[in-house]
Structure 1
């Protein structure tokens, strides 16, 4: 895509994003966006195809904004506290940008997520892998990520759906702490640490390690990680 088309696409997305946040997805039409951007509807169709294409592009734009905020969350040294801060940032983003959030996580198109959604999950996995490496997870990181996303999106969508005057922040706090109590332990591996915790910690360490530093062949590392996951159950 040439520079002129890229600038035009960016301008349309900015106009559409402003309309979306102000009036919601139901009020968003290709004709409305084209008029607000000062272009012909045909030009918008050339860049996005149709309204569905425009909404998909807006979802990617929303995830980009979300990830930009998430990347400001520097590790604190306590991976469980980082999980708390990541949860709170997620909920806060949803409440500040409800129309964006509904487009990101309230889709009516099952099984379809923009590629940026994968990047958001991978970012969550980095925090959970760190917790596992410190011996703080009770379950494998992939399962912890699935449970965390299910819980935090449910809470955020529930709060968005409630009148602002009825939103109780305690709902998010209690759900966050209940999840963290389920997923984590109080301390890293000690001499009497559970076998499952040690297995998870070693598996996470192998996941982050440079293959050149692991004195095993790839097939042996894969087998070891499979055994470790079995021990973690």
Structure 2
């Protein structure tokens, strides 16, 4: 039984790898059942049995490519935290990697830009949690002037929009400074420079303390809950 599972897993991996190669080389139209079967060394019915249809195969390919990228992002985030890298530098580096990934993998990016696919993608959800971690580090450093969820939404939306815009623009007309300009615009909206100047001072302090609230062990659960409620009110975070 174990050999059967191993063979099935190996066959599935071979098919996904073959489809990923074709997708990268020629886009979704290049991922034909015949082409994948020939490259993977399997019969066409095997593809239908494992993936249902071409759309199912493309989703599996997109998930695999994104999973590999997200694993690298997670490792980079952990390393940055361990080395106490400036959270803003870490966020900028992550932004650049995200834009580069989208431009280097247009077919995968377009597949996962579909809201329904993105919501069903474990890798996409993990990627968002990594972004939340990076934004949380900014909040804990007292750098945010907006609630953490709002900052995450702005950065995510800006990233998707930047890649979509660049992919829709002919290469000769692409603005190489667009990605940097976009993240600068978003950071200008969500960040405050220390020391904070009124009226952002109380909000930035509230956001920073809100990020640290779960670690305030001297408070009871009820006290922490009440503190979080107050801080959310000061920072303007929806409750």
Q: How much does 1:188 deviate?
A: 5.9
Instruction: Show the 5 A alignment for 1:1-233.
Output: 2-70=5-73, 71-73=75-77, 74-75=79-80, 77-105=85-113, 107=114, 109=116, 112-187=119-194, 194-207=201-214, 209=215, 214-233=217-236
CA positional deviation for 1:68: 3.0
Question: Displacement of 1:52 after TM fit?
Answer: 2.2
TM-score using structure 2 length: 0.86
Aligned length, in residue pairs: 228
Distance (whole Å) between structure 2 residues aligned to residue 20 and residue 111 of structure 1? 19
The alignment's C-alpha RMSD in Å is 2.4
Indicate the structure with greater helix content: 2
Question: Matches of 2:142 and 2:105 in 1, distance apart?
Answer: 35
| Residues 144 and 190, structure 2, Cα contact 8 Å, conserved in 1 | yes
Change (3 A) 1:39 1:199: same
User: Per-residue CA shift, 1:186-230, capped at 9, x if unaligned?
Assistant: 12669x9711111111111124x3xxx623333442332222111
* Pair 215,11 (structure 1): closer, same or farther in 2 beyond 3 Å: same
The normalised TM-score by structure 1 is: 0.88
